Structure 1
Amino acid sequence: MIPFDYARATDARTAVATVMARPDAVFLGGGTNLVDHMKLGVAAPELLVDVTRLPLDRIEEMPDGGLRIGATVRNSDLAAHPLVRQRYPVLSQALLAGASGQLRNAATTGGNLLQRTRCGYFQDVTTPCNKREPGAGCAAIGGWTRHHAVLGASEHCVAVHPSDMAVAMSALDAVVIVLGADGERRVPVTEFHRLPGDEPERDTVLAHGELVIAVEVPALPSTARSAYRKVRDRASYAFALVSVAAVLDTEEGRVRQARIALGGVAHKPWRATRAEEALRGAVPAEDAFRRAADAELSAARPLPDNGFKVPMTRNTLAAVLRELGTQERR
């Protein structure tokens, strides 16, 4: 382990000021991603500012019926919260699909949003990686790409975002509350993560020193149903090959609104806006679900080893929508 300095934050504004003052400083939450990267040599911060003791560990109901989730709420606690299980099954299911119970007990809401890709080339410091070292090249392009992107990739990076929770948050239109030197700002979670473009080293729109302090999830209509499904190589402790988070709201036998996000297919949780538009006003039936999936996947550009992700995404999306449509008819 490379030596580093450690400081325990006593308040959020001081934590922000401390990290902003040093380009080699980072925030430390549960550490389930950062510490791994420090051990691998992927990250070498010289100062860790521990924010886990800040009063950001509450789940509060908002006046409109939504929830405000503190950044240090543990994944296990969020998944098990009665209001989350009752109102947002998609979020509880996504959290429970991620990692092991031990890791969920340590991982935080803010840290989950900020976790970095599990691309094997990114984690192997002996290989070139534009995300780890801008301009070095991308070893995945021309390499083994089974787990890589089929949507939104660039010539500089084909990695995918690993979070399950963030996919559900995207389908829920959550808003990330961020604290910086100029105070708080609100970032829709659909705009929080970035596609790689020419700067694959930037996973999010955060500036150095900005701290996630909460996530707000708006209330859903009483008629809405939600679900999350994850397809992976084994039943547990594996990242998604493909995942689908969906919220379906129907009225008088027609889709009033659909909100869909895909995981395992892009550099960020992929909001499936084409599929949503195709479903609006449609009868919630198999042919409509598959047309919506095809509309979204028309932009897919699979790599040599991951062409299977396209039909897998189509089938998984149709299956989740079918499940939600069945719930509505009961």
Structure 2
Amino acid sequence: MEHYEEHHKETFRDSALEVAAGVERPPVVNPHYKRAKRRRLSADEYVEGILAGNITVLSQAITLTESLLAEHHELAQRIIERCLPHAGRSVRIGITGVPGAGKSTFIEAMGGKVTGLGHKLAVLAIDPSSERTKGSVLGDKTRMETLVHNPDAFIRPSPSAGSLGGVARKTRESVILCEAAGFDVIFIETVGVGQSETAVHSMVDLFLLIQISGAGDELQGIKRGIMEMADMVAINKADGDNVPRAELTKRQFLNALALFPMPESEWKPRVYTTSSTKGTGLTELWRGIEDYLKFTKTNGYFDRNRSRQAKYWMYETIDSELRDNFYKSPRIEPLLAEYEKRVLEDKISSFAAARELLDRYYSE
């Protein structure tokens, strides 16, 4: 039997259905071209550029703080130490909320309001990292099309990299660098409700929870810890037919917050209704933020909170370094697989295995 392809070729020899042979791949335009390596700036050049408000240098410095290379870590620490005396003069606001609450759209709308009042805004947007590939989309900038072109705004997306509470481990260092660059308002957008938000709460002056209405039981799925940490709640997407539901949700949250004990700041959390697309409620919310800052600075809580946060991150860094050194120890790393096998075979308890490994680590 004649093969179908040969029959098809003979039948449609002069037809447009015939597939033409491909052409050879063209050579490289310049086979001798080599990409020139970018010269690495010195610590002095980094600090000079940051203090001058150079966004490119600031971005490169933040990249250094996020790097896992030892040489980058050492350089980043020198830069941070030099920038530290120029930091601390900003308002740090943590923003979290349920997925779909419109956090990025809210930040863009509020960012335009803030910069319109003469402030310089830095947005540190934390994107979730994949547990499988460890990668992140980092797409927050694409949802802030207007703010990204604002000369008084700086947007930096960073991967969470498995960090607690959806906050990148180096976010606090990034805040210091942004403050040294002249940004006096810092927004830190977290991954969202569902994880422990202790990390972001321990690096901001005000914690803002974004919520929406019309999604069933408005308080369902919101952890009590999140509610207790919130200094303000914004019921977003309060526009059109959703306005009555937003007002109802506002009353529900006010009733829920009234059941909680008075926080250490002695500030009674407020609830606002906002619309990021219409721009309504944003002015009132910002006035509430200014009221909060004035209130906490007057009663001394603002400074006490900043001092406690600095202490918290010192111990947090110690814990992180100790954990990393333990797992990377040449004495411990070869033993981990052996102890894992013994635990899985019920030959030793998890607690006893951990104790033996720690004893070996500290005794040798």
**TM-score of the pair, normalised by structure 1:** 0.28
**TM-score of the pair, normalised by structure 2:** 0.27
Higher helix share: 2
Larger RCO (CA under 8 A, 6+ residues apart)? 1
Higher strand share: 1
